[in-house]
Structure 1
Amino acid sequence: MSETIETWFDQPLVFTIAARHVRGRLVRLGPVLNTIMAAHSYPPVAEKLLAEALVLTVLLGSTLKDEGGQLTLQAQTGGGPVELLVCDYKGGELRGYLKFDAEKLAEIGPDPTLFALFGEGFLAITFDQATTGERYQGIVPLEGSSIGDAAEHYFEQSEQIPSLIKLAARHDAEAGCVAGGLLVQHLPEGEVGRDRLHVRHDHPEWEHARTIAATLKDEELTDPATSLETLAWRLFHEDEVRVEAGVTVSRGCRCSVDYFAGVLAQFPDGERRDMADGDGKIVVDCAFCSRIFPIPLDEISGQH
Protein backbone atom coordinates (compact mmCIF):
# COMPACT_ATOMS: atom_id res chain seq x y z
CA MET A 1 0.00 0.00 0.00
CA SER A 2 1.38 3.41 -0.94
CA GLU A 3 2.81 5.49 1.88
CA THR A 4 2.36 8.79 0.04
CA ILE A 5 -1.44 8.96 0.19
CA GLU A 6 -3.04 10.43 3.28
CA THR A 7 -6.82 10.69 3.41
CA TRP A 8 -8.37 12.28 6.48
CA PHE A 9 -11.73 14.09 6.11
CA ASP A 10 -14.50 14.41 3.53
CA GLN A 11 -12.97 12.09 0.95
CA PRO A 12 -13.67 8.37 0.65
CA LEU A 13 -10.83 5.91 0.36
CA VAL A 14 -11.51 3.09 -2.11
CA PHE A 15 -9.64 -0.16 -1.45
CA THR A 16 -9.41 -3.59 -3.02
CA ILE A 17 -7.97 -6.80 -1.57
CA ALA A 18 -7.59 -9.03 -4.62
CA ALA A 19 -6.41 -12.07 -2.67
CA ARG A 20 -9.61 -12.05 -0.63
CA HIS A 21 -11.91 -10.99 -3.50
CA VAL A 22 -12.96 -7.97 -1.43
CA ARG A 23 -13.61 -4.32 -2.21
CA GLY A 24 -14.46 -1.57 0.20
CA ARG A 25 -14.65 2.06 1.15
CA LEU A 26 -13.70 4.06 4.20
CA VAL A 27 -14.82 7.62 4.83
CA ARG A 28 -14.68 10.13 7.66
CA LEU A 29 -16.79 13.27 7.49
CA GLY A 30 -15.90 16.43 9.41
CA PRO A 31 -16.03 19.94 7.92
CA VAL A 32 -18.73 19.06 5.37
CA LEU A 33 -20.76 17.39 8.09
CA ASN A 34 -20.59 20.44 10.32
CA THR A 35 -21.61 22.68 7.43
CA ILE A 36 -24.72 20.56 6.88
CA MET A 37 -25.52 20.41 10.61
CA ALA A 38 -25.05 24.18 11.05
CA ALA A 39 -28.29 24.85 9.16
CA HIS A 40 -30.29 23.19 11.95
CA SER A 41 -30.26 22.89 15.73
CA TYR A 42 -30.40 19.12 16.05
CA PRO A 43 -30.37 17.52 19.53
CA PRO A 44 -27.54 14.97 20.06
CA VAL A 45 -29.65 11.90 19.22
CA ALA A 46 -30.86 13.44 15.95
CA GLU A 47 -27.37 14.70 15.07
CA LYS A 48 -25.86 11.24 15.50
CA LEU A 49 -28.58 9.59 13.40
CA LEU A 50 -28.25 12.08 10.56
CA ALA A 51 -24.43 11.99 10.70
CA GLU A 52 -24.38 8.21 10.34
CA ALA A 53 -26.95 8.37 7.53
CA LEU A 54 -24.81 10.94 5.67
CA VAL A 55 -21.75 8.70 6.01
CA LEU A 56 -23.77 5.76 4.66
CA THR A 57 -24.93 7.95 1.76
CA VAL A 58 -21.32 8.73 0.82
CA LEU A 59 -20.26 5.08 1.11
CA LEU A 60 -23.05 4.00 -1.24
CA GLY A 61 -23.14 7.05 -3.51
CA SER A 62 -19.42 6.94 -4.20
CA THR A 63 -19.88 3.48 -5.78
CA LEU A 64 -21.79 5.06 -8.69
CA LYS A 65 -19.81 4.83 -11.91
CA ASP A 66 -22.09 7.32 -13.66
CA GLU A 67 -20.70 10.77 -12.76
CA GLY A 68 -24.15 12.36 -13.11
CA GLY A 69 -25.86 9.60 -11.14
CA GLN A 70 -27.53 10.13 -7.79
CA LEU A 71 -27.96 8.00 -4.69
CA THR A 72 -30.92 8.79 -2.44
CA LEU A 73 -31.35 7.38 1.03
CA GLN A 74 -34.79 7.76 2.61
CA ALA A 75 -36.00 6.41 5.93
CA GLN A 76 -39.62 6.89 6.86
CA THR A 77 -41.37 6.37 10.16
CA GLY A 78 -43.73 3.68 11.24
CA GLY A 79 -44.91 5.65 14.25
CA GLY A 80 -41.64 6.66 15.92
CA PRO A 81 -40.46 10.19 16.79
CA VAL A 82 -38.40 10.44 13.57
CA GLU A 83 -40.86 11.18 10.79
CA LEU A 84 -38.51 11.44 7.81
CA LEU A 85 -34.81 11.13 7.02
CA VAL A 86 -33.57 12.06 3.54
CA CYS A 87 -30.00 12.18 2.25
CA ASP A 88 -28.64 12.25 -1.27
CA TYR A 89 -25.28 12.18 -3.03
CA LYS A 90 -24.57 13.39 -6.55
CA GLY A 91 -21.12 13.84 -8.03
CA GLY A 92 -19.54 14.38 -4.62
CA GLU A 93 -22.27 16.77 -3.44
CA LEU A 94 -23.96 15.69 -0.24
CA ARG A 95 -27.04 16.90 1.59
CA GLY A 96 -29.36 15.59 4.28
CA TYR A 97 -32.38 16.46 6.38
CA LEU A 98 -34.15 15.05 9.40
CA LYS A 99 -37.75 15.73 10.44
CA PHE A 100 -38.79 14.65 13.93
CA ASP A 101 -41.08 15.24 16.89
CA ALA A 102 -38.81 16.93 19.45
CA GLU A 103 -40.88 15.97 22.49
CA LYS A 104 -41.11 12.29 21.53
CA LEU A 105 -37.43 12.20 20.64
CA ALA A 106 -36.46 13.57 24.05
CA GLU A 107 -38.38 10.75 25.75
CA ILE A 108 -36.49 7.81 24.20
CA GLY A 109 -33.10 8.38 25.84
CA PRO A 110 -29.56 9.02 24.55
CA ASP A 111 -28.92 5.66 22.84
CA PRO A 112 -32.17 4.54 21.19
CA THR A 113 -32.72 1.54 18.94
CA LEU A 114 -33.89 1.90 15.35
CA PHE A 115 -37.32 0.75 16.45
CA ALA A 116 -37.43 3.44 19.16
CA LEU A 117 -36.53 6.06 16.54
CA PHE A 118 -38.73 4.96 13.65
CA GLY A 119 -41.16 2.33 14.87
CA GLU A 120 -41.89 -0.14 12.09
CA GLY A 121 -40.33 2.08 9.46
CA PHE A 122 -38.57 1.29 6.21
CA LEU A 123 -35.40 2.28 4.38
CA ALA A 124 -35.46 3.03 0.66
CA ILE A 125 -32.19 3.15 -1.29
CA THR A 126 -32.45 4.52 -4.83
CA PHE A 127 -29.76 4.62 -7.52
CA ASP A 128 -30.53 6.97 -10.43
CA GLN A 129 -28.33 6.55 -13.50
CA ALA A 130 -28.08 9.81 -15.42
CA THR A 131 -26.62 8.35 -18.62
CA THR A 132 -29.20 5.61 -19.14
CA GLY A 133 -32.07 7.13 -17.17
CA GLU A 134 -32.46 3.85 -15.30
CA ARG A 135 -33.51 3.74 -11.65
CA TYR A 136 -32.88 0.94 -9.16
CA GLN A 137 -34.63 0.98 -5.81
CA GLY A 138 -34.64 -1.38 -2.88
CA ILE A 139 -36.89 -1.08 0.18
CA VAL A 140 -36.14 -2.93 3.41
CA PRO A 141 -37.47 -2.75 6.99
CA LEU A 142 -35.58 -0.56 9.45
CA GLU A 143 -34.31 -3.43 11.55
CA GLY A 144 -31.12 -3.88 13.53
CA SER A 145 -29.07 -1.72 15.84
CA SER A 146 -28.22 0.97 13.29
CA ILE A 147 -29.18 2.27 9.87
CA GLY A 148 -26.08 0.44 8.64
CA ASP A 149 -27.66 -2.88 9.60
CA ALA A 150 -30.70 -2.01 7.50
CA ALA A 151 -28.44 -1.21 4.54
CA GLU A 152 -26.73 -4.60 4.93
CA HIS A 153 -30.18 -6.19 4.60
CA TYR A 154 -30.66 -4.17 1.39
CA PHE A 155 -27.52 -5.63 -0.18
CA GLU A 156 -28.45 -9.11 0.95
CA GLN A 157 -32.03 -8.85 -0.32
CA SER A 158 -31.76 -6.66 -3.43
CA GLU A 159 -28.20 -7.18 -4.66
CA GLN A 160 -27.17 -10.56 -3.25
CA ILE A 161 -23.83 -9.03 -2.26
CA PRO A 162 -22.45 -10.12 1.12
CA SER A 163 -21.58 -6.85 2.86
CA LEU A 164 -20.42 -5.41 6.16
CA ILE A 165 -21.23 -1.83 7.11
CA LYS A 166 -19.95 -0.05 10.21
CA LEU A 167 -20.99 3.50 11.11
CA ALA A 168 -20.01 5.74 14.01
CA ALA A 169 -20.52 9.37 15.00
CA ARG A 170 -19.54 11.53 17.95
CA HIS A 171 -19.06 15.15 18.93
CA ASP A 172 -15.40 16.16 19.19
CA ALA A 173 -14.41 19.19 21.28
CA GLU A 174 -12.17 20.56 18.51
CA ALA A 175 -13.49 19.07 15.27
CA GLY A 176 -17.22 19.31 16.09
CA CYS A 177 -19.36 16.51 14.73
CA VAL A 178 -17.22 13.69 13.32
CA ALA A 179 -18.61 10.56 11.68
CA GLY A 180 -16.95 7.64 9.95
CA GLY A 181 -17.95 4.54 8.08
CA LEU A 182 -16.66 1.33 6.53
CA LEU A 183 -18.24 -0.65 3.69
CA VAL A 184 -16.73 -4.04 2.82
CA GLN A 185 -18.17 -6.29 0.10
CA HIS A 186 -17.33 -9.69 -1.34
CA LEU A 187 -16.40 -10.06 -5.00
CA PRO A 188 -16.19 -13.67 -6.19
CA GLU A 189 -13.16 -14.61 -8.25
CA GLY A 190 -13.33 -13.15 -11.75
CA GLU A 191 -16.16 -10.78 -10.87
CA VAL A 192 -14.18 -7.67 -9.92
CA GLY A 193 -15.90 -4.54 -11.14
CA ARG A 194 -19.36 -5.95 -11.69
CA ASP A 195 -22.25 -4.00 -10.23
CA ARG A 196 -24.52 -6.90 -9.33
CA LEU A 197 -23.12 -10.12 -7.96
CA HIS A 198 -24.56 -13.47 -6.91
CA VAL A 199 -22.33 -15.27 -4.45
CA ARG A 200 -22.47 -17.70 -1.58
CA HIS A 201 -22.35 -16.24 1.92
CA ASP A 202 -20.15 -19.02 3.29
CA HIS A 203 -17.15 -18.26 1.07
CA PRO A 204 -14.09 -18.75 3.34
CA GLU A 205 -12.23 -15.72 1.97
CA TRP A 206 -15.24 -13.51 2.64
CA GLU A 207 -15.77 -14.81 6.15
CA HIS A 208 -12.12 -14.12 6.97
CA ALA A 209 -12.30 -10.56 5.63
CA ARG A 210 -15.63 -9.90 7.32
CA THR A 211 -14.37 -11.09 10.70
CA ILE A 212 -11.33 -8.82 10.48
CA ALA A 213 -13.36 -5.80 9.29
CA ALA A 214 -15.79 -6.25 12.18
CA THR A 215 -12.97 -5.56 14.67
CA LEU A 216 -12.77 -1.90 13.61
CA LYS A 217 -13.75 0.25 16.58
CA ASP A 218 -16.00 3.31 16.56
CA GLU A 219 -13.18 5.36 18.10
CA GLU A 220 -10.89 4.49 15.17
CA LEU A 221 -13.49 5.49 12.58
CA THR A 222 -13.96 8.89 14.22
CA ASP A 223 -10.35 9.57 15.27
CA PRO A 224 -9.22 12.79 13.50
CA ALA A 225 -5.58 11.85 14.07
CA THR A 226 -5.71 8.56 12.14
CA SER A 227 -5.70 8.53 8.34
CA LEU A 228 -8.00 6.21 6.43
CA GLU A 229 -4.96 4.51 4.88
CA THR A 230 -3.75 3.67 8.38
CA LEU A 231 -7.12 2.10 9.21
CA ALA A 232 -7.05 -0.01 6.04
CA TRP A 233 -3.52 -1.16 6.80
CA ARG A 234 -4.36 -2.01 10.42
CA LEU A 235 -7.23 -4.19 9.31
CA PHE A 236 -5.78 -5.95 6.30
CA HIS A 237 -1.98 -5.79 6.72
CA GLU A 238 -1.76 -9.54 6.07
CA ASP A 239 -2.75 -8.92 2.44
CA GLU A 240 -1.87 -6.54 -0.38
CA VAL A 241 -4.30 -3.62 -0.18
CA ARG A 242 -4.72 -1.39 -3.22
CA VAL A 243 -6.03 2.06 -2.35
CA GLU A 244 -7.32 5.03 -4.31
CA ALA A 245 -8.69 8.35 -3.08
CA GLY A 246 -12.29 9.00 -4.13
CA VAL A 247 -14.09 12.23 -5.03
CA THR A 248 -13.94 14.93 -2.35
CA VAL A 249 -17.31 15.47 -0.71
CA SER A 250 -18.91 18.92 -0.45
CA ARG A 251 -22.20 20.25 0.83
CA GLY A 252 -24.53 20.20 -2.14
CA CYS A 253 -27.89 21.79 -1.50
CA ARG A 254 -29.19 22.69 -4.95
CA CYS A 255 -31.67 25.33 -3.80
CA SER A 256 -31.78 28.73 -5.47
CA VAL A 257 -34.38 31.28 -6.57
CA ASP A 258 -33.96 30.16 -10.19
CA TYR A 259 -34.37 26.48 -9.27
CA PHE A 260 -37.54 27.00 -7.24
CA ALA A 261 -38.94 29.42 -9.80
CA GLY A 262 -38.46 26.75 -12.45
CA VAL A 263 -40.32 24.20 -10.33
CA LEU A 264 -43.17 26.61 -9.56
CA ALA A 265 -43.45 27.50 -13.24
CA GLN A 266 -44.81 24.01 -13.83
CA PHE A 267 -47.97 24.88 -11.83
CA PRO A 268 -50.96 26.62 -13.49
CA ASP A 269 -51.16 30.41 -13.03
CA GLY A 270 -54.21 30.11 -10.78
CA GLU A 271 -52.49 27.74 -8.40
CA ARG A 272 -49.43 29.97 -8.22
CA ARG A 273 -51.60 32.97 -7.33
CA ASP A 274 -53.23 30.92 -4.54
CA MET A 275 -49.76 30.11 -3.16
CA ALA A 276 -48.65 33.76 -3.10
CA ASP A 277 -48.83 35.99 -0.04
CA GLY A 278 -50.20 39.53 0.13
CA ASP A 279 -47.00 40.93 -1.39
CA GLY A 280 -47.31 38.76 -4.48
CA LYS A 281 -44.54 36.37 -3.44
CA ILE A 282 -44.45 32.60 -2.97
CA VAL A 283 -42.34 31.79 0.07
CA VAL A 284 -40.37 28.56 -0.27
CA ASP A 285 -38.63 26.99 2.72
CA CYS A 286 -35.73 24.67 1.83
CA ALA A 287 -35.72 21.88 4.42
CA PHE A 288 -32.13 20.88 3.59
CA CYS A 289 -30.41 24.21 4.23
CA SER A 290 -33.11 25.87 6.38
CA ARG A 291 -33.27 28.97 4.14
CA ILE A 292 -36.31 30.96 3.08
CA PHE A 293 -36.78 32.00 -0.55
CA PRO A 294 -39.46 34.64 -1.25
CA ILE A 295 -40.09 34.39 -5.01
CA PRO A 296 -42.11 37.13 -6.80
CA LEU A 297 -44.81 35.85 -9.14
CA ASP A 298 -43.46 37.90 -12.04
CA GLU A 299 -40.09 36.11 -11.77
CA ILE A 300 -41.84 32.75 -11.96
CA SER A 301 -43.78 33.72 -15.08
CA GLY A 302 -40.48 34.55 -16.73
CA GLN A 303 -39.43 30.93 -16.46
CA HIS A 304 -41.73 29.77 -19.22
Structure 2
Amino acid sequence: MIDPNETFSDTLMGFTLPRRSARGRIVRLDDVLEQVLSAHDYPAPITHLLSEALVLGTLMGGLLKGDDAQLTMQAQTQGGVVKLLVVDYRAGAVRGYVDFDAERFATLGANPSLAALFGDGYLAITFETEGKQRYQGIVPLEGDSLAEACESYFGQSEQIPTLIRVASRAGAKGRVAAGLLVQHLADGEEGRERLHVRLDHPDWEHVSVMAGSTSHDELVDPTLSLEAIVWRLFHEEDEVRVQRGARLSRGCRCSAAHYESIISRFPADEQEDMRSADGVIAVDCAFCSRTFALEI
Protein backbone atom coordinates (compact mmCIF):
# COMPACT_ATOMS: atom_id res chain seq x y z
CA MET A 1 0.00 0.00 0.00
CA ILE A 2 1.30 3.45 -0.90
CA ASP A 3 2.12 5.62 2.10
CA PRO A 4 0.65 9.13 1.57
CA ASN A 5 3.47 10.56 3.69
CA GLU A 6 6.10 9.39 1.23
CA THR A 7 7.00 10.78 -2.19
CA PHE A 8 6.43 8.66 -5.28
CA SER A 9 5.98 10.66 -8.49
CA ASP A 10 5.56 14.14 -9.97
CA THR A 11 7.14 15.72 -6.89
CA LEU A 12 10.76 16.80 -6.55
CA MET A 13 12.56 15.70 -3.39
CA GLY A 14 15.77 17.11 -2.00
CA PHE A 15 18.19 15.60 0.50
CA THR A 16 21.48 16.41 2.18
CA LEU A 17 24.25 14.37 3.80
CA PRO A 18 25.63 16.91 6.31
CA ARG A 19 28.64 14.86 7.42
CA ARG A 20 29.66 14.29 3.79
CA SER A 21 29.13 17.88 2.57
CA ALA A 22 26.79 16.54 -0.11
CA ARG A 23 23.34 17.38 -1.42
CA GLY A 24 21.02 15.72 -3.86
CA ARG A 25 17.77 15.86 -5.78
CA ILE A 26 15.62 12.90 -6.85
CA VAL A 27 12.49 12.85 -8.98
CA ARG A 28 10.16 10.50 -10.82
CA LEU A 29 7.94 11.85 -13.62
CA ASP A 30 4.68 10.07 -14.38
CA ASP A 31 1.50 11.94 -15.28
CA VAL A 32 3.39 15.17 -15.93
CA LEU A 33 5.65 13.37 -18.37
CA GLU A 34 2.70 11.96 -20.26
CA GLN A 35 1.09 15.39 -20.47
CA VAL A 36 4.22 16.88 -22.03
CA LEU A 37 4.81 13.98 -24.43
CA SER A 38 1.18 13.85 -25.58
CA ALA A 39 1.50 17.20 -27.36
CA HIS A 40 3.52 15.57 -30.15
CA ASP A 41 3.57 12.16 -31.80
CA TYR A 42 7.26 11.46 -31.27
CA PRO A 43 8.94 8.22 -32.35
CA ALA A 44 10.22 6.08 -29.46
CA PRO A 45 13.89 7.25 -29.47
CA ILE A 46 12.84 10.91 -29.47
CA THR A 47 10.36 10.19 -26.68
CA HIS A 48 13.18 8.61 -24.68
CA LEU A 49 15.46 11.58 -25.38
CA LEU A 50 12.89 14.16 -24.30
CA SER A 51 11.98 12.12 -21.22
CA GLU A 52 15.61 12.13 -20.12
CA ALA A 53 15.88 15.86 -20.82
CA LEU A 54 12.75 16.65 -18.76
CA VAL A 55 14.16 14.74 -15.79
CA LEU A 56 17.50 16.53 -16.08
CA GLY A 57 15.83 19.92 -16.35
CA THR A 58 13.79 19.20 -13.23
CA LEU A 59 16.79 17.97 -11.22
CA MET A 60 18.92 20.97 -12.12
CA GLY A 61 16.09 23.49 -11.91
CA GLY A 62 15.31 22.17 -8.46
CA LEU A 63 18.68 23.49 -7.27
CA LEU A 64 17.41 27.05 -7.73
CA LYS A 65 15.56 28.99 -5.04
CA GLY A 66 12.58 31.27 -5.58
CA ASP A 67 9.41 31.14 -7.65
CA ASP A 68 10.85 33.36 -10.39
CA ALA A 69 14.10 31.44 -10.84
CA GLN A 70 14.34 29.42 -14.06
CA LEU A 71 16.52 26.76 -15.63
CA THR A 72 16.67 26.42 -19.42
CA MET A 73 18.48 23.56 -21.12
CA GLN A 74 18.98 23.68 -24.88
CA ALA A 75 20.67 21.07 -27.05
CA GLN A 76 21.37 22.08 -30.62
CA THR A 77 23.48 21.26 -33.65
CA GLN A 78 24.07 22.54 -37.12
CA GLY A 79 22.95 19.97 -39.66
CA GLY A 80 22.09 17.27 -37.14
CA VAL A 81 19.04 15.04 -37.17
CA VAL A 82 17.84 16.74 -34.00
CA LYS A 83 17.69 20.43 -34.81
CA LEU A 84 16.72 21.63 -31.35
CA LEU A 85 15.81 20.25 -27.94
CA VAL A 86 14.53 22.67 -25.29
CA VAL A 87 13.48 22.09 -21.69
CA ASP A 88 12.81 24.67 -19.02
CA TYR A 89 11.84 24.52 -15.37
CA ARG A 90 10.37 27.20 -13.13
CA ALA A 91 8.93 26.67 -9.66
CA GLY A 92 7.79 23.12 -10.37
CA ALA A 93 6.50 23.80 -13.89
CA VAL A 94 8.41 21.85 -16.53
CA ARG A 95 8.02 21.84 -20.30
CA GLY A 96 9.99 20.77 -23.36
CA TYR A 97 9.94 19.78 -27.02
CA VAL A 98 12.16 18.39 -29.76
CA ASP A 99 12.43 19.61 -33.35
CA PHE A 100 13.98 16.98 -35.62
CA ASP A 101 14.34 16.00 -39.27
CA ALA A 102 11.84 13.14 -39.63
CA GLU A 103 13.19 11.91 -42.98
CA ARG A 104 16.77 11.69 -41.80
CA PHE A 105 15.70 10.24 -38.48
CA ALA A 106 13.99 7.35 -40.29
CA THR A 107 17.38 6.23 -41.64
CA LEU A 108 19.02 5.87 -38.22
CA GLY A 109 17.50 2.59 -37.07
CA ALA A 110 15.70 1.67 -33.86
CA ASN A 111 18.25 2.81 -31.26
CA PRO A 112 20.31 5.74 -32.55
CA SER A 113 23.19 6.95 -30.40
CA LEU A 114 23.50 10.47 -29.04
CA ALA A 115 26.19 11.16 -31.65
CA ALA A 116 23.90 9.95 -34.45
CA LEU A 117 21.13 12.27 -33.26
CA PHE A 118 23.20 15.39 -32.63
CA GLY A 119 26.46 15.01 -34.53
CA ASP A 120 28.75 17.83 -33.35
CA GLY A 121 26.13 19.28 -31.07
CA TYR A 122 26.36 21.28 -27.88
CA LEU A 123 24.38 21.67 -24.69
CA ALA A 124 23.69 25.11 -23.25
CA ILE A 125 22.47 25.32 -19.65
CA THR A 126 21.20 28.68 -18.43
CA PHE A 127 20.34 29.49 -14.82
CA GLU A 128 18.32 32.62 -14.10
CA THR A 129 18.08 33.50 -10.43
CA GLU A 130 15.14 35.12 -8.71
CA GLY A 131 17.08 38.38 -8.88
CA LYS A 132 17.22 38.03 -12.70
CA GLN A 133 20.94 37.28 -12.75
CA ARG A 134 21.79 34.91 -15.58
CA TYR A 135 24.72 32.62 -16.03
CA GLN A 136 25.27 30.02 -18.71
CA GLY A 137 27.56 27.13 -19.44
CA ILE A 138 28.06 25.41 -22.80
CA VAL A 139 29.52 21.92 -23.18
CA PRO A 140 29.83 19.61 -26.20
CA LEU A 141 27.31 16.80 -26.54
CA GLU A 142 29.76 13.98 -26.03
CA GLY A 143 29.39 10.60 -24.39
CA ASP A 144 26.41 8.30 -24.42
CA SER A 145 23.70 10.47 -22.87
CA LEU A 146 22.50 13.94 -22.00
CA ALA A 147 23.17 13.08 -18.36
CA GLU A 148 26.89 12.76 -19.09
CA ALA A 149 26.89 16.17 -20.77
CA CYS A 150 25.21 17.69 -17.70
CA GLU A 151 27.82 16.12 -15.42
CA SER A 152 30.48 17.70 -17.63
CA TYR A 153 28.76 21.07 -17.32
CA PHE A 154 28.98 21.03 -13.53
CA GLY A 155 32.56 19.79 -13.59
CA GLN A 156 33.80 22.28 -16.19
CA SER A 157 31.64 25.36 -15.67
CA GLU A 158 31.03 25.26 -11.91
CA GLN A 159 33.75 22.90 -10.71
CA ILE A 160 31.28 20.98 -8.59
CA PRO A 161 31.68 17.19 -8.52
CA THR A 162 28.33 15.86 -9.71
CA LEU A 163 26.86 12.42 -10.34
CA ILE A 164 23.63 12.04 -12.32
CA ARG A 165 21.63 8.92 -13.05
CA VAL A 166 18.53 8.91 -15.29
CA ALA A 167 16.15 6.07 -16.17
CA SER A 168 13.16 5.87 -18.48
CA ARG A 169 10.81 3.13 -19.58
CA ALA A 170 7.42 2.60 -21.16
CA GLY A 171 4.93 0.95 -18.82
CA ALA A 172 1.36 -0.31 -18.99
CA LYS A 173 0.00 3.12 -18.03
CA GLY A 174 2.48 5.16 -20.06
CA ARG A 175 6.09 6.26 -19.84
CA VAL A 176 7.87 6.82 -16.55
CA ALA A 177 11.19 8.64 -16.20
CA ALA A 178 13.25 9.32 -13.10
CA GLY A 179 16.60 10.62 -12.03
CA LEU A 180 19.04 11.21 -9.21
CA LEU A 181 21.53 14.11 -8.89
CA VAL A 182 24.16 14.20 -6.15
CA GLN A 183 26.77 16.92 -5.64
CA HIS A 184 29.66 17.67 -3.34
CA LEU A 185 29.25 21.13 -1.85
CA ALA A 186 31.97 23.70 -1.46
CA ASP A 187 33.36 23.83 2.05
CA GLY A 188 35.77 26.02 3.95
CA GLU A 189 36.44 29.68 4.35
CA GLU A 190 38.06 31.98 1.84
CA GLY A 191 41.75 31.21 1.54
CA ARG A 192 41.29 27.54 2.40
CA GLU A 193 41.17 24.69 -0.04
CA ARG A 194 37.59 24.10 -1.18
CA LEU A 195 36.14 20.65 -1.57
CA HIS A 196 34.66 21.35 -5.00
CA VAL A 197 38.12 21.42 -6.60
CA ARG A 198 39.11 18.09 -5.07
CA LEU A 199 37.56 15.34 -7.13
CA ASP A 200 39.48 12.75 -5.11
CA HIS A 201 38.17 13.89 -1.73
CA PRO A 202 37.35 10.73 0.30
CA ASP A 203 33.87 12.00 1.23
CA TRP A 204 32.98 12.52 -2.42
CA GLU A 205 34.49 9.20 -3.43
CA HIS A 206 32.27 7.48 -0.88
CA VAL A 207 29.11 9.39 -1.80
CA SER A 208 29.59 8.91 -5.55
CA VAL A 209 30.10 5.16 -5.14
CA MET A 210 26.96 4.84 -3.03
CA ALA A 211 24.86 7.04 -5.34
CA GLY A 212 26.19 5.28 -8.42
CA SER A 213 24.90 1.96 -7.16
CA THR A 214 21.26 2.93 -7.72
CA SER A 215 19.67 0.85 -10.45
CA HIS A 216 17.49 1.70 -13.43
CA ASP A 217 14.69 -0.47 -12.05
CA GLU A 218 14.75 1.23 -8.64
CA LEU A 219 14.41 4.70 -10.12
CA VAL A 220 11.37 3.87 -12.26
CA ASP A 221 9.64 1.47 -9.85
CA PRO A 222 6.30 3.21 -9.08
CA THR A 223 5.90 1.26 -5.82
CA LEU A 224 9.25 2.40 -4.42
CA SER A 225 9.16 5.82 -2.78
CA LEU A 226 11.90 8.36 -3.36
CA GLU A 227 12.61 8.34 0.37
CA ALA A 228 13.11 4.57 0.21
CA ILE A 229 15.65 4.93 -2.63
CA VAL A 230 17.65 7.52 -0.71
CA TRP A 231 17.51 5.34 2.41
CA ARG A 232 18.76 2.30 0.49
CA LEU A 233 21.71 4.30 -0.81
CA PHE A 234 22.71 6.16 2.34
CA HIS A 235 21.27 4.28 5.34
CA GLU A 236 24.75 3.86 6.83
CA GLU A 237 25.25 7.62 7.11
CA ASP A 238 25.02 9.31 10.50
CA GLU A 239 22.39 11.71 9.21
CA VAL A 240 20.27 12.03 6.06
CA ARG A 241 17.91 14.98 5.77
CA VAL A 242 15.11 14.85 3.22
CA GLN A 243 12.82 17.63 2.12
CA ARG A 244 9.84 17.34 -0.18
CA GLY A 245 10.08 20.00 -2.84
CA ALA A 246 7.82 21.40 -5.51
CA ARG A 247 4.79 19.54 -6.79
CA LEU A 248 5.39 19.28 -10.53
CA SER A 249 3.13 20.28 -13.41
CA ARG A 250 3.25 20.65 -17.18
CA GLY A 251 4.55 24.16 -17.49
CA CYS A 252 3.47 25.49 -20.87
CA ARG A 253 2.64 29.15 -20.29
CA CYS A 254 1.00 29.83 -23.63
CA SER A 255 -2.32 31.66 -23.93
CA ALA A 256 -3.99 33.98 -26.39
CA ALA A 257 -3.51 36.88 -23.96
CA HIS A 258 0.21 36.10 -23.65
CA TYR A 259 0.78 36.11 -27.41
CA GLU A 260 -1.39 39.20 -27.90
CA SER A 261 0.80 41.09 -25.44
CA ILE A 262 3.90 40.05 -27.39
CA ILE A 263 2.48 40.85 -30.84
CA SER A 264 1.25 44.22 -29.62
CA ARG A 265 4.87 45.31 -29.09
CA PHE A 266 5.60 45.05 -32.82
CA PRO A 267 5.10 48.09 -35.08
CA ALA A 268 1.75 48.25 -36.89
CA ASP A 269 3.29 47.56 -40.30
CA GLU A 270 5.01 44.42 -39.01
CA GLN A 271 1.79 43.22 -37.41
CA GLU A 272 0.09 43.72 -40.77
CA ASP A 273 2.68 41.55 -42.48
CA MET A 274 1.91 38.76 -40.00
CA ARG A 275 -1.79 38.65 -40.88
CA SER A 276 -3.32 36.02 -43.13
CA ALA A 277 -5.76 36.86 -45.91
CA ASP A 278 -8.65 36.81 -43.43
CA GLY A 279 -6.89 39.22 -41.07
CA VAL A 280 -5.86 36.69 -38.45
CA ILE A 281 -2.37 36.33 -36.95
CA ALA A 282 -1.68 32.64 -36.29
CA VAL A 283 0.86 31.75 -33.58
CA ASP A 284 2.02 28.19 -33.00
CA CYS A 285 3.25 27.01 -29.58
CA ALA A 286 6.01 24.44 -30.06
CA PHE A 287 5.69 23.21 -26.47
CA CYS A 288 2.02 22.22 -26.49
CA SER A 289 1.41 22.02 -30.26
CA ARG A 290 -1.50 24.47 -30.20
CA THR A 291 -2.26 27.24 -32.68
CA PHE A 292 -3.68 30.54 -31.50
CA ALA A 293 -5.65 32.67 -33.97
CA LEU A 294 -5.26 36.28 -32.86
CA GLU A 295 -7.58 38.99 -34.08
CA ILE A 296 -5.78 42.10 -32.88
Ranges in structure 2 where 5+ consecutive residues have no aligned partner: none
Is the Cα–Cα contact under 8 Å of residues 28 and 219 in structure 2 kept in the other structure?
yes
Q: Which amino acid aligns with 1:231?
A: I
Shift, 1:188, TM fit: 4.3
Q: 1:202 aligns with which of 200, 203, 206?
A: 200
Q: Partner of 1:62 in structure 2?
A: 62
Is the Cα–Cα contact under 8 Å of residues 55 and 178 in structure 2 kept in the other structure?
yes
Write the deviation string for residues 1-25 of structure 1: whole angstroms up to 9, x where unpaired. xx98411111111011112211101
User: How many residues get paired?
Assistant: 289
SS at match of 2:247: coil
SS at match of 1:94: strand
Residue 227, structure 1, aligned to residue 246, structure 2:
no
Q: Which amino acid aligns with 2:201?
A: H
Write the deviation string for residues 94-127 of structure 1: whole angstroms up to 9, x where unpaired. 1101001122223223332211110000000001
Partners of 2:51 and 2:259 lie apart in 1 by: 27
* TM-score normalised by length of structure 1: 0.91
1:1-304 map, 5 Å? 5-131=5-131, 133-174=132-173, 176-190=174-188, 198-239=196-237, 240-297=239-296
Shift, 1:213, TM fit: 1.1
Write the deviation string for residues 206-246 of structure 1: whole angstroms up to 9, x where unpaired. 01110111111111111111110111011111112110101
Shift, 1:80, TM fit: 2.3
Partners of 2:120 and 2:41 lie apart in 1 by: 26
Partners of 1:10 and 1:104 lie apart in 2 by: 34
Write the deviation string for residues 48-96 of structure 1: whole angstroms up to 9, x where unpaired. 0000000000001111113211110000024321110001011111110
Question: RMSD value over aligned CA atoms?
Answer: 1.6
Partners of 2:281 and 2:19 lie apart in 1 by: 59
Q: Identity percentage over the alignment?
A: 55
Is the Cα–Cα contact under 8 Å of residues 77 and 119 in structure 2 kept in the other structure?
yes
Write the deviation string for residues 242-286 of structure 1: whole angstroms up to 9, x where unpaired. 101011110111111111011111111111111101111100010
Is the Cα–Cα contact under 8 Å of residues 87 and 95 in structure 2 kept in the other structure?
yes
Partners of 2:55 and 2:164 lie apart in 1 by: 11
Is the Cα–Cα contact under 8 Å of residues 187 and 195 in structure 2 kept in the other structure?
no
SS at match of 2:230: helix
Partners of 1:124 and 1:199 lie apart in 2 by: 22
Partners of 2:260 and 2:242 lie apart in 1 by: 43
